[in-house]
Structure 1
Amino acid sequence: MRPTAIALCAALLVTLTGCTKTNPAPAATEAAPAATLSHAQVTRQCIDAVAALPAEPSSGEVPSEPVPLDCLPLSDSEYLDAYMRGIRQANQANRDELQRRIDEARRNDDQ
């Protein structure tokens, strides 16, 4: 049930925002062992890992499975929350980049 619920939430979010992250994921970096990190740090790493996931080119959906390694210490509920926050983070980054490009194009038109 977890993958289905996550996929439905992700599809809804993508549909509502109209934005997806299409950049390839950065190279994996060595993370500190989860035992030495606080719960908040593990959650932040999971959110960042989800935000770095590339969207499927054909559907625009960000896969929820397999779970990123940084998210494994989290419970199902915590992962779903972190997954949705990661999607929102990626969408906001894409909106910010789009706005930067629009502003740059306007400046170029004014010159």
Structure 2
Amino acid sequence: MRIRTTTLAATLLLVTLTGCSGDSDPAPTETATATATSTAPALSKAEITQQCIDAVAAVISQRPADFDPEADTDPQPAECDALSETDYLDAYMDGLQQSNQDGRDALQRQIDEAAETDQP
């Protein structure tokens, strides 16, 4: 989360700097980009994959009620852009499993709550 905040802040700084300078040379912007990205630690492949899995699970959980898996597709989250196609497909399947498990857990909580209520 801290990495995203740092990256977002650096990006906003760059946008602000480039937006305010009319006909300036692009070289200072490139220097600012290199400085901003070098201060943020790189994520490991496992961390990137987990972020992708979480993002896929979130996308799947927000599907509309009329989602048709035969005709509709889920958009690829930006968190998955750094993954290869094979790694993305693996992460997508893991995200699908995570979303399904979250749904089963929510249903079980509802069943447990209903069983705890006083019955006549």
- Calculate the TM-score normalised by the size of structure 1: 0.63
Q: Is 1:91 equivalent to 2:97 in the alignment?
A: no
Change (3 A) 1:74 1:49: same
* Equivalent residue, structure 2, for 1:43: 49
Residue 42 of structure 2 aligns with an amino acid whose one-letter code is T
Correspondence 1:73 to 2:82: yes
Contact in 2 for aligned 1:55/1:63 (Cα 8 Å): no
1:107 match: 116
The aligned length equals 82
Moved over 3 A (4+): 32-35, 60-64
Cα distance in 2 between the residues matched to 1:94 and 1:78: 24
Counterpart of 1:20 in structure 2 is none
Unmatched 5+ residue regions in structure 1? 1-29
**Deviation, structure 1 residue 64:** 3.2
Following the alignment from structure 2 to structure 1, what is the Cα–Cα distance between the partners of residues 73 and 64?
Answer: 7
- Identity across the alignment (%): 46
- Which segments of 5 or more consecutive residues in structure 2 lack a partner in the other structure? 8-39
Between Structure 1 and Structure 2, whose CA radius of gyration is higher? 2
- Structure number having the greater helix percentage: 2
